[in-house]
Amino acid sequence: MSKLEYVRKMALMGDEAVAYAVKQADVDVIAAYPITPQTIIVERLSKYVADGELNASFIQAESEHSALSICIGSALAGARTFTSTASQGLALMHEVLYIASSMRAPIVMAIANRALNSPLNIHCDHSDIMGARDTGWIHLFANNVQQAYDLTLMAFKISEDPDLLIPVSVNLDGFILTHSIEPLEVLLDEEVHQFIPHEPYPHEIDFGNPLAYGVMALPDTYMEFKRQFQEAMLKVPEVFHKTTREFYTISGRTYKSLTSYFTEDAEAVVIALGSTVETLKYVARKFREKNIKVGVLGLTMYRPFPEKEIVKVLENVRCIAVLDRAYSYGGVGGPLYTDILASLYKNGMKPIVADFVYGLGGRDFKLTDSEEIFRKMMKAIECNGFERDIYWWGVKE
């Protein structure tokens, strides 16, 4: 192994991989507040700063609400800014999430996805980020530790694009990815610096040329502000794909808004977010070896929702199982399920569809669970329907 190959290869936990990417991104400000299972991220960053490996201001906030508020001021001052949180911490930030996006503050935040109280639970599900899905942030999901590292680097480039200036969250499953050690291929510092150079924030706070930030808008102007923001959101897919193409040239790793696996001729497709996609891919490969036409669709970019790409993948699919690691209580199903249903309805598509609510509070999702869901889908095709619309998977009936 050459020296260059050696420095590119590591074995890190997901939290450590994110912290290493943030260090390489040469951030200016880190606003930190600890909460399991993301604490390792800010612990590693504090060590980088203390050891002189990263020249950044490390600010220990009094709460998650304060941490994100610090990030807004930092980003508007032109500093490259990062924070991370999970679960109740993200919930405490909720008010500030809207402010950050509406004020066009380019912030990157890692979210170690974790269940919300009550009852108290520190393990993985997606309830935290689904509570924030419509706050105007770009939401990316990592399937493994390598993707957590890569997406963190790309998040800075996407967020800071002058046509966007929209904050980005990078989601990685709590404990499943945050605390799991996986092989990781990193970029060299010089490559990262070339990929995401520090560009001046176009609306930087300047006391010599004062501007108004966070102004009040009455009914005669408020909707215009929101429409303008939605128009910026419409530009995200183009910037995302441009960024992934540039990333490919330096890493050799390909990213799209969707991860499609065996979907070209699939009769049945499972749709999911996060680390579960890797489990599903493994099982799908085993079914394919038996000539059973199943496929897997994972979303790398959840917001903005890649409707056109999803519809294109699913246009000839007969049966769909949507896996939700969260639920919309009192609604018609989980958040990903309702997004998929809306996309299918808008495009005149009527496959067999069911929602599988799974893994809440970190409940294990095994290979055998994937196998059983695939078998249910093939039976649904034979019977022209599932037994029900919503399955609470792993809960005894």
Name the region of 326 (left: φ>0; alpha: ψ -120 to 50; beta: rest). beta
* Total-model pTM: 0.97
| Distance from C-alpha of 268 to C-alpha of 168, rounded to nearest angstrom | 32
Which of 315, 297, 165, 275 is CA-nearest to residue 231? 165
Beta partners for 139? 169, 303
* Whether the Cβ atoms of residue 81 and residue 71 lie closer than 8 Å to each other: yes
**Residue ranges per domain, the chain?**
3-251, 259-392
* Whether the Cβ atoms of residue 357 and residue 327 lie closer than 8 Å to each other: yes
* Whether the Cβ atoms of residue 272 and residue 298 lie closer than 8 Å to each other: yes
* pLDDT of the residue at 28: 98
* Whether the Cβ atoms of residue 28 and residue 5 lie closer than 8 Å to each other: no
Q: Which two tokens stand for residue 323?
A: 């896996």
Which of 275, 256, 301 is CA-nearest to residue 365? 275
Q: How far is CA 237 from CA 88, 229, 234, 345, in A?
A: 30, 15, 7, 22
DSSP summary character for residue 362: G
CATH code for the part of the protein at 259-392: 3.40.50.920
* pLDDT of the residue at 396: 85
E strands, the chain, are 9-13, 29-32, 57-60, 81-85, 107-113, 138-141, 168-173, 181-185, 258-261, 268-272, 294-299, 301-303, 319-324, 352-357, 390-392
CATH code for the part of the protein at 3-251: 3.40.50.970
| Distance from C-alpha of 140 to C-alpha of 90, rounded to nearest angstrom | 15
Number of neighbours of residue 304 by Cβ within 10 angstroms? 17
Residue 335 phi/psi, 5° resolution?
Answer: -65, -40
Number of neighbours of residue 367 by Cβ within 10 angstroms? 12
Do 3-251 and 259-392 have matching folds?
yes
Q: Which two tokens stand for residue 112?
A: 């170690």
Which of 65, 67, 63, 175 is CA-nearest to residue 114? 175
Sequential pLDDT tens for the chain (397 residues)? 454 555 699 999 999 999 999 999 999 999 999 999 999 999 999 999 999 999 999 999 999 999 999 999 999 999 999 999 999 999 999 999 999 999 999 999 999 999 999 999 999 999 999 999 999 999 999 999 999 999 999 999 999 999 999 999 999 999 999 999 999 999 999 999 999 999 999 999 999 999 999 999 999 999 999 999 999 999 999 999 999 999 999 999 999 999 999 999 999 999 999 999 999 999 999 999 999 999 999 999 999 999 999 999 999 999 999 999 999 999 999 999 999 999 999 999 999 999 999 999 999 999 999 999 999 999 999 999 999 999 999 998 7
Amino acid at 365: F
- Is the four-CA dihedral 37, 39, 42, 46 of positive or negative sign? negative
Residue 260, judged by CB atoms within 10 A of its CB (0-12, 13-18, 19+), counts as: middle
* Whether the Cβ atoms of residue 79 and residue 56 lie closer than 8 Å to each other: no
Residue 67, judged by CB atoms within 10 A of its CB (0-12, 13-18, 19+), counts as: buried
